[in-house]
Chains A and B, each alone.
Chain A
Amino acid sequence: MAYFTEANARTATEIIANYPRPKSAVIPLLHLAQEQEGWVTRDAMVEIADLTGATPAEILGTGSFYEMFKFHPVGRYVVNVCTNISCQLLGGEELLHHVEESLGVHAGGTTDDGMFTVEDVECVAACTEAPCFTVNYRYFHRADADTFDAVVDDLRAGRSPLARGAQGDDGHVPAHGTLGRLRQHVPDDRRAGVVPPEEAGEAPVWLRPSPATAGGSDG
C-alpha cells in the first residue's frame, strides 16, 4: 500500500519534477514523510526509494547523515536549545539545564506525554540574539527561563507562542515535521524546464549569437 497520502503523493510528484535527476529529491521527500507522520518510518523509506530509483538502504544512508531526520517517534514539539559559543557565553547551558529540569528529561529525551523532545543543538544562526532556542524550528531570541516557561504554558494550553518569538508571527506552530507552512509551486505555463545533465549539448538560447545580443558578446 502506498505510504504517502493522496495529497502528499501529488506533492512528491511535483517535487521530483523540479530536479534533473530524481535522487536529488531524496532530502525534500524525507522532509515530506516527516511532515506526514512526525518521523521517518521504514515504509516511508521504501516508498521514497521507489519514487527516486534508489534502494531503501540508500535512503536510510542519506537520511541518517542529517540530524533533522528522526528515525524514531519524537514529541509533537522539538525544543532545540543552542549551547554553541555565542549562546554559551550568555547562558545557553544554563537555559538548557532549566529546560531539562522543568520538562524532566535529558537532552535527546521525550516527555512521557509525547509533547516535548529536548535537544542540545549547534549554532542556529541567531548569535546576536543569544541565548536562543527554537520550537519546531521557530525562533525565540534572547530567551531566559521565564520565556521558556511561558512558551511551554502556551503550547500545553493549545495557544500559539509565536508572538513571544522572533518572527512577530500570529500563526501557529505546526507539529514536528512541518518546516515551511507553504511551498514553492512552479506553474507549468511559467516553467523554464529542467535541464538534464546528459541532454543539453549547446549553450542556452540567450548566449547564442542573435541579432539582439551578437553585438555585445565577445566584444
Chain B
Amino acid sequence: MAEPTTVHPAGMDYVPHAAGFVANEGPKLLTSRFPYEDSYTLGRALATGAYAGLRAALGRAPDDVHAEVREATLLGRGGAGFPAGVKWGFCPEGVWPRYLVVNGDESEPGTYKDRLLMERDPHQLIEGCLIACYALGLSQCFLYVRGEMALAQERLATALNDAYAAGYVGRNICDTDFSVDIILHWGAGAYIVGEETALIESLEGNRGMPRLKPPYFPAAIGLYGKPTIVNNVETLANLPWILEHGAAAYRGYGSETSPGTRLFAVSGHVVRPGVYEVEQGVTTFRDLFYGDNFCRGIRDGNDLKAFIPGGASAPWFFEEQLGLPLEARDVGAAGSMLGSGAMVVMDHTTDVVKACLRVVRFFARESCGKCTPCREGISWEEKILERILDGHGRPADLDLLLDIGDNISPGPYPVAAHGAEGFDAVPFPPQQTTICPLGPSAIAPITSALRRFRSEFEARITCRDSLPVQAAPVVEGAPA
C-alpha cells in the first residue's frame, strides 16, 4: 500500500496563508495540501494526487463504491453524525432523477472548517462530489456555499472552471459514460438553511424554512420532490482518500465507532486556537486543549470554567469531562455532542450570564419563525436573560427560563453529570416540540449554565435588593 498520510514537517505549525489552520503532527487525510500556498489550484492538486480517488471509483461498479463508503463508516460531519453510507442507502429504488446537494452553509457559532476546506482545497471537495454522484447515480450536483464566504466562492468557481476544462466535471468525465454537472450556488445569510430540508427549500428559491417530517430524510423526497442526498462539505471531502486507499485503511485511524480524522476548530481562551485535524476516539478533550501538539493550555495559566464541545447547539461540558475521548458515542452518552466539531473554551474570567445570553440571542435571531415554541419561546428567553444581566431580574425568572425551555424541549434536557450537585448525565439528543432542532438547541446554554452556575445568575438578581435605597426627601407643603 502506498504511504497513506502526509505528516506535516515539524516547525510548520501555523500556516500563514491558511489563517486558522494549525499543521500539528498526526495523520492528515483531509488537510495534506493545506501547507502549499497554491493548494487551491488545479496544478497543485494534480501534482499531489487529486482525482486519483475518482479514477479508482470509476474503475469499479457504482454499487461497489457505495459499499466501500458504507464499510468505512464515514460519519456525517455536519452535526448529526449520521453514517453517510447508510444515508445514501435511503434513496428509493427506481425513482429518478436523484440529486446531490452539498451543504456548505457553515454557520454554527464556533465552526470554522468547511470554509477552510473550500478555500484551501476546492478540488478535494469537487472530487468527493463526483464520487458520490457516480456511486448513487445522482444526475446533478448543487454546491450550496454560504453567501458570506466570498473567497470560497471565488476559489470554487475557479476550481470548477478548471476542472470542466480538464475533463473532470461535465460530460463524459475522464472519458467514461459518467456525466454530471456541478453547479455553484450561493446562499444569502440564514443559519437555518444548514438544516437539510431548509437547504432544499432555499435551493428551490423559497424562504429557507425546514419541511415537516416525515419523511425524515430528503433521500426519500427532496429537491423538486425527488430523491436527494444532502451531505456536508467535510463528509464529502473524505471520499477521495477513502476511495484511493480503501475503507480498511480508513478504519485504521480513529476508533471502531468513529473512524478517521476530523477537523476540530478550537476557539476562545486557549493559548493556540486553531483548526486541527485530529484522529477521533484516541484523542481526548484534555489532549486537545492542553497538549503541546494542539492548543497548549488555557491563556495566562487560567482555570477552565466551561467549554462547548460541538458548536453553540451543544450542551456545555466542564472540567470533569476533559478526559472524554473525541468520539461521538461517548460524548453523546455524557450529555452533549461533537456536532460540527466546534469547541469554544471559556476560562474562569468568563461572565456566564453574558455568554449564555449571547448564544440564546443567536438562536432568537436565527429562528425561522415556522414553529411557535421556537419563534416565541427563544426571544422570550432572550428578554429574560437580558433583564437579569441588566440587574432587573426577578427571583422567579430562573424557573421561568427552565419552564419555557421545557415547552420547546420537553422532558429532561441533555446535561453533563455533576457529582457535587448529585445528578447524572442525561444523554443527547433532546426532545423537541418543533420541526427542526434549532429550538431545542437554544436551551443548551440555559440548562448548562443555569444548572452549573445558578449562584451567578442569582447574584445578578439579588444585587438589585442590595442597592442603597433612599427614602424620597420630604418636601414642605407637598400633598401627603
List of B residues within 8 angstroms of A127 by Cβ: 109-112, 265, 267, 273, 342, 344
List of B residues within 8 angstroms of A86 by Cβ: 109-110, 267-268, 344
What is the CB-to-nearest-CB distance from B351 to chain A, in angstroms, rounded to a whole number? 10
Decide yes or no whether B259 CB sits under 8 A from chain A: no
Could you tell me which residues of chain B, from 184 to 227, have a CB within 8 Å of some CB in chain A? 184-191, 202-209, 223-226
| Mask of B176-189 contacts with A, CB within 8 angstroms, 1/0 | 11111101111111
Decide yes or no whether A191 CB sits under 8 A from chain B: yes
Decide yes or no whether A130 CB sits under 8 A from chain B: yes
Comparing B141-149, B245-253, B283-291, the segment that makes contact with chain A is B141-149
Decide yes or no whether A158 CB sits under 8 A from chain B: no
Residues A179 and B354 in contact, CB atoms below 8 Å apart: no
B205: contacting residue among A25, A136, A201, A216, CB under 8 A: A25
Residues B160 and A215 in contact, CB atoms below 8 Å apart: no
What is the CB-to-nearest-CB distance from B153 to chain A, in angstroms, rounded to a whole number? 4
Number of interface residues of A (CB under 8 A): 83
Decide yes or no whether A185 CB sits under 8 A from chain B: yes
Q: How many A-B residue pairs have CB under 8 A?
A: 256
List of B residues within 8 angstroms of A195 by Cβ: 97, 139-140
Residues A129 and B19 in contact, CB atoms below 8 Å apart: yes
Number of interface residues of B (CB under 8 A): 92
Residues B20 and A85 in contact, CB atoms below 8 Å apart: no
Could you tell me which residues of chain A, from 174 to 218, have a CB within 8 Å of some CB in chain B? 179-187, 189-195, 197, 199-207, 210, 212-213, 215-218
A122: contacting residue among B109, B176, B186, B342, CB under 8 A: B109
**A128-B267, A187-B165, A207-B137 in contact; A192/B158 too (CB < 8 A)?**
no
List of B residues within 8 angstroms of A155 by Cβ: none
List of B residues within 8 angstroms of A128 by Cβ: 20, 112, 265-267, 273-275
Q: How far is the CA of A116 from the CA of B179 in the complex (A)?
A: 46
What is the CB-to-nearest-CB distance from A9 to chain B, in angstroms, rounded to a whole number? 19
List of B residues within 8 angstroms of A89 by Cβ: 267-269, 344, 346, 350, 355
Comparing A27-35, A95-103, A106-114, A145-153, the segment that makes contact with chain B is A27-35
7 extra A-B contacts, CB within 8 A, seeds A27-B202, A137-B147: A23-B205, A86-B344, A122-B191, A127-B273, A129-B112, A179-B147, A216-B63
**Can you name 18 A-B residue pairings with CB atoms under 8 Å?**
A28-B186, A62-B205, A62-B207, A83-B358, A84-B312, A122-B365, A123-B108, A125-B107, A125-B115, A128-B265, A128-B275, A186-B170, A191-B170, A197-B225, A204-B139, A205-B179, A207-B137, A219-B64
Q: Which residues of A contact B (CB under 8 A)?
A: 18-21, 23-28, 30-31, 52, 54, 61-63, 65-69, 80, 83-86, 88-90, 122-130, 134, 136-139, 141, 166-169, 179-187, 189-195, 197, 199-207, 210, 212-213, 215-219
Q: Which residues of B contact A (CB under 8 A)?
A: 16-17, 19-20, 60-64, 96-97, 106-112, 114-115, 134, 137, 139-140, 146-151, 153-154, 156-158, 160-161, 164-165, 167, 169-171, 176-181, 183-191, 202-209, 223-226, 265-269, 273-275, 308, 312, 342, 344, 346, 350, 354-355, 358-359, 362, 365-366, 368
